[in-house]
Amino acid sequence: MNSKYKIGFYTAISLVIANMIGTGVFTSLGFQLFDIHSVLTILVLWLLGGIISFCGALVYAELGVAIPRSGGEYVYLSKLMHPSIGFMSGWVSSTVGFAAPVALASMALGTYVHKIFPNVNITICALTVVALITLIHTMDLKFGSSVQKVLTMLKVIVIVCFIIAGLFHTPSHETTILPQPDSMKEIFSAAFWVSLIYVSYAYSGWNAASYLAGDMQNPQKNLPKALLLGTLLVTVIYVLLNFVFMYSAPMSELTGVLEIGHVSAAHIFGETIGKMMSLIIAFLLLSSISAMIMAGPRIIKSMGEDLPMLSILAKTNKNNVPFMAVITQSFITVVLILSSQFEAVLTFVGFSLSIFTFLTVSSIFILRYRQIETPGYKTWGYPVTPILFLLLNGFTIYFVFTQKPVESLLGLLNVAIGGTIYFIGKFISEKRKKNEV
């Protein structure tokens, strides 16, 4: 019975929400405030990030309905462009795209716990969390789905309560969302677009449900709903949360600070309760870790199914869970945690992932040209919404490459490694076929 279990709409939307709401929204505001000093500009920044993500989700929903197989970009690009492009996308996602954020979130959780309980070792805490969540998702899809739904529901409840408490809090400083003399100048400044890069990272995960399309009940209906509603909900949460951060604490105390959530909680609830709230916020990362450990391995599994050289990665257990893929991703996560190199990896992985997201959204035009049927769903606002996504995402890719060339080139190097492995695998596979003949 378990082998036939398919995840429903609520698990799918919980994956989107949990993948999106991670460390980014609780850490990036402090660095944005170095160059942006208007509350309105900050809110526009986060709203724009949501609009870009929503436009992308509109397209991914149609791609997922047309090609309802687990694997996300890997599957779409392999079918609509070329298997080598799909493989390179899957390579980036499977090597660092999911493993690095899991490592970052696990270490962040360990750091928060250590601040409250100094005797707790940060690395051991992070490794324990990864091991436990990995165990859950290698056992049974139904059980893993239930855990994911509960963790995400708790996360949303806590964040909504935090926002409500912040809005009813009476701050000791003045805050206004009205336009300031420099608001428009800030929106068109280089600092605004640099910040958009980090905001885009905070929004990453809006496409999470597409990675499990093949494991989903009625993907033609549930996939679009999960992608679109999940992205809309997180956009509202992000805008309100950033307003609460700036409303509850003076900008001078937030500028350059990594632990924005702790500073805001201390102002709203007092230092003692604020510390406990910070610990609760840290445990909210469990849902993000769980979602990424659940979604990422589906790419690895699909790659194993398509490339004989990697066939071991496609192995599933009696409950139809791709346990080898889950273990592989978590092994990479453990290596990153122990080497403490995951933060450096994140600086270039975002660039390479953005390239493949750009290519995936552009593939909607190939889908329409080939007249592949998408029963029940078409991209809203086509072709305006995909073009808008491509323009804004393309500008961000260009800006990252010009401002951070070293990290960008490292990202392209990782892509090239993936391409090399693909062609070596194809060569070996074709040679075996000839020998068999």
Q: Which domains does the chain have, with CATH numbers?
A: 2-431 (1.20.1740.10)
Contact assessment for residue 187 and residue 44, using Cβ atoms and an 8 Å cutoff: yes
* pLDDT at residue 342, rounded to an integer: 60
Contact assessment for residue 17 and residue 154, using Cβ atoms and an 8 Å cutoff: no
When the pLDDT of each residue in the chain is averaged and rounded to a whole number, the result is 86
Tell me the C-alpha distance between 221 and 224, whole Å: 6
Percent of the chain whose predicted confidence (pLDDT) is above 70: 96
The two three-digit tokens of residue 407, written as one number: 């990290």
Tell me the C-alpha distance between 305 and 350, whole Å: 26
Average pLDDT score over residue span 189-206 = 80
| pLDDT reading at 87 higher than 90 | yes
| pLDDT reading at 1 higher than 50 | no
SS3 content of the chain, % helix, strand, coil (to 5): 80, 0, 20
Average pLDDT score over residue span 398-402 = 82
Average pLDDT score over residue span 197-203 = 80
* pLDDT at residue 343, rounded to an integer: 58
pTM, two decimal places:
0.84
Count Cβ atoms within 10 A of the Cβ of residue 434 and give its class: 0-12 exposed, 13-18 middle, 19 or more buried. Answer: exposed
Q: Give every CB contact of residue 246 below 8 A, 6+ residues apart in sequence.
A: 29, 39, 42, 175, 254
Provide φ and ψ at 373, rounded to 5°: -70, 135
According to the per-residue pLDDT averaged within each range, which of 2-16, 58-72, 254-268 is highest?
Answer: 58-72
* pLDDT at residue 3, rounded to an integer: 47
Q: What confidence tens digit (pLDDT) does each residue in 282-313 have? A: 778 888 899 889 888 888 888 888 888 888 88
Q: What confidence tens digit (pLDDT) does each residue in 336-377 have? A: 889 876 656 666 777 888 899 999 999 999 999 988 766 678
According to the per-residue pLDDT averaged within each range, which of 92-106, 271-285, 384-398 is highest?
Answer: 384-398
